[in-house]
């Protein structure tokens, strides 16, 4: 299952690196990755989501204040408040403001359009640790072809290594060593 893959990826992130999730919703995936990190080296996780900010591309339930509150409550009630930081904001703006540690795992589950995926990879690349893993949710989803289009385009351009697809949904890759 996809969560098991993300748990394993999070467990491999070094303690002095970050896990960043773009697109948190209610926090389920963030909590799985935080648990995985806890079982591994203890990396901390930052979850970035616009939740109920104006300008989002998705409607209810994604853009409701109750959803943001549910994510916060889930993090606190499950005991991950010291390990998970939830950030309300647009992914591209947060990339410009990033002051955290180098990112060892970047999980992209934000705006699924080709243009947004490409923009997020470009914006977050300067913050990636050497050998960082990039994981893209909904790679093969028929409703969001932009994810696969962007990943395939980045692989063809030599920006990303060929992706491994898990459970027909999760594309996992790294930056090409020669990139940048």
- Closest by CA to 107, choosing from 1, 24, 14, 16, is 24
- Over residues 107-129, the pLDDT tens digits come to 999 999 999 999 999 999 999 99
Residues pairing with 18 in the sheet: 44, 103
CA dist 62 to 40, 85, 149, Å?
A: 31, 19, 24
Report how far residue 137's alpha carbon sits from residue 108's, in angstroms, rounded to the nearest whole number.
6
Strand runs (DSSP E) across 54-179, as ranges?
Answer: 84-88, 103-108, 128-136, 164-166, 170-174
Residue that the structure tokens 């990943």 belong to: 151
Express as a percent the part of the chain with pLDDT over 70: 98
pTM over 0.85: yes
Q: What is the pLDDT of residue 55?
A: 86
């Amino acid at each position: 299952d996809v969560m098991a893959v993300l748990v394993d990826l999070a467990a491999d992130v070094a303690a002095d690196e970050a896990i960043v999730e773009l697109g948190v919703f209610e926090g389920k995936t963030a909590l799985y990755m935080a648990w995985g990190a806890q079982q591994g080296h203890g990396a901390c996780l930052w979850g970035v989501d616009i939740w109920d900010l104006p300008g989002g591309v998705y409607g209810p339930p994604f853009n409701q204040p109750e959803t943001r509150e549910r994510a916060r409550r889930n993090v606190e009630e499950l005991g991950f408040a010291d390990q998970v930081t939830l950030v309300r904001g647009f992914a591209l703006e947060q990339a410009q403001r990033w002051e955290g540690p180098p990112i060892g795992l970047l999980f992209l589950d934000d705006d699924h359009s080709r243009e947004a995926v490409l923009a997020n990879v470009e914006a977050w690349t300067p913050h990636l640790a050497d050998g960082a893993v990039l994981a893209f949710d909904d790679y093969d989803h028929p409703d969001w072809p932009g994810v696969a289009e962007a990943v395939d385009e980045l692989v063809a351009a030599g920006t990303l290594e060929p992706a491994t697809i898990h459970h027909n949904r999760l594309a996992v890759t790294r930056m090409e060593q020669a990139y940048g």
